[in-house]
Structure 1
Amino acid sequence: MRTLQAQGIHHITFVGADRQTSIDFWEGVLGMPFVFEQPNLDNASESHLYFDPGDGRLITVFTNDERRPDRTRTSTEPGAVHHLAINVSRATFSQAMERLAERGIEHSGVKDRGFMDSIYFSDPLGFLVELAAYRFEPPAGSSHAEVLFEAHRIRVENGDRSIAEIHLADAIEAIIARSRPSLSKDRAPEQAG
């Protein structure tokens, strides 16, 4: 049976409250430019706001000015979306706690995820948002997913519980060895030191 081959996320749509709450959060807090707006074509009482998260895809929000924000945590029951992770640079990540505090936004503090660091906080509607910063850059021509795939293989082979920086470093080395030929028979130095 053939698959419906995915090639990335096209967009993610949230049900928001009023229009300004969405603009203030997605653009004002997270820096995603508000790129266009039109009516929700399936519900005339709602507007459909489009934001650019920086990777050529879209975050969209259905809004209705009759709805008010409710910070009660959104459902975490099976079938619900637990959180949205947003990629940020290491430079931005290092400033995240200070910048969230400036806005009075409570957060989790830095969480060590082995291959990345995370900070969690809620949007004005109680939806959990994660700022995620990778601890590595993939080799040119490779993706983060390729490095993680290789790091997972190494982790499992070593019997380790989760991916750590040693697995990432070894994965990057393996990917480079496979993708970039060398005239040397062995890439290791002949003499130590």
Structure 2
Amino acid sequence: MKIDRIHHVAYRCKDAKETVCWYQQMLNMDFMLAIAEDQVPSTKAPDPYMHIFLDAGGGNVLAFFELPTQPSMSRDLNTPTWVQHIALRVANRETLLRYKEHLESNGVEVLGVTDHGAFHSIYFFDPNGHRVELACPDPDEALMLKKLDAVKWEMLEEWNTTKRAPKHAAFLHQREFQQ
């Protein structure tokens, strides 16, 4: 058995129409479909919802639920805002910079470009308060990923034992690595 791919990833939104329009305008994502019911199909709970689906490219789907009868949205206050996020890939740095300019010109506060070694990212928040990351590959992505693959189990074991950041992948942010 093997998972084929992610079918969709779903988050909650404050306003379905606002969310669709924002993702269309800011990230050029197509609105694929909407499903709305008064009863949750899996639990049979009486809970009206609007479920919207956006095309995130490459067969990936980003979905949202608007839940008008539930308490207002909040987030896990024990988790820093930088942790939970939606990361979307763009083709290259030029595209990443064009998105940054587009977002900023539309009043969206953007953090970055941040160099993560294998990729470069910008960060911002959607109208629901979800942190969104756009990432593009670094020219050395293949080499970086190969080096990361070689140390992943050692890093995981060290972390599991110490709960301190292992230094096996420090090269990512130092740019000091051997080819």
**TM-score, normalised with respect to structure 1:** 0.65
Paired positions, count = 155
Change (3 A) 1:100 1:147: same
* Partner AA of 2:136 in structure 1: A
Change (3 A) 1:137 1:162: closer
2:86 aligned to which of 84, 91, 99: 84
Partner of 2:131: 128
CA deviation after TM superposition for structure 1 residue 137, in Å = 7.9
1:161 is aligned to 2:163: no
How far apart, in 1, do the equivalents of 2:118 and 2:140 lie? 11
Cα-to-partner distance string for 1:133-157 (whole Å, 9 max, x where unaligned):
111387xxxxx6x971x2225678x
1:26 is aligned to 2:26: no
Change (3 A) 1:10 1:36: same
Identity %: 24
The answer to whether the 8 A contact 1:111-1:118 is kept is: yes
> Computing the radius of gyration over CA atoms, which structure comes out larger, 1 or 2?
1
The answer to whether the 8 A contact 1:11-1:57 is kept is: yes
Report the aligned-residue RMSD. 3.5
How do 1:88-107 residues align onto structure 2 when only pairs under 5 Å count? 88-90=90-92, 91-107=94-110
Point out 4+ residue stretches in structure 1 off by more than 6 angstroms.
Answer: none
How far apart, in 2, do the equivalents of 1:130 and 1:55 lie? 17
How far apart, in 2, do the equivalents of 1:161 and 1:15 lie? 35
> Which structure 1 segments of 5+ residues have no match?
139-143, 171-193
**TM-score, normalised with respect to structure 2:** 0.69
The answer to whether the 8 A contact 1:51-1:59 is kept is: yes
CA deviation after TM superposition for structure 1 residue 7, in Å = 3.1
How far apart, in 1, do the equivalents of 2:14 and 2:97 lie? 30
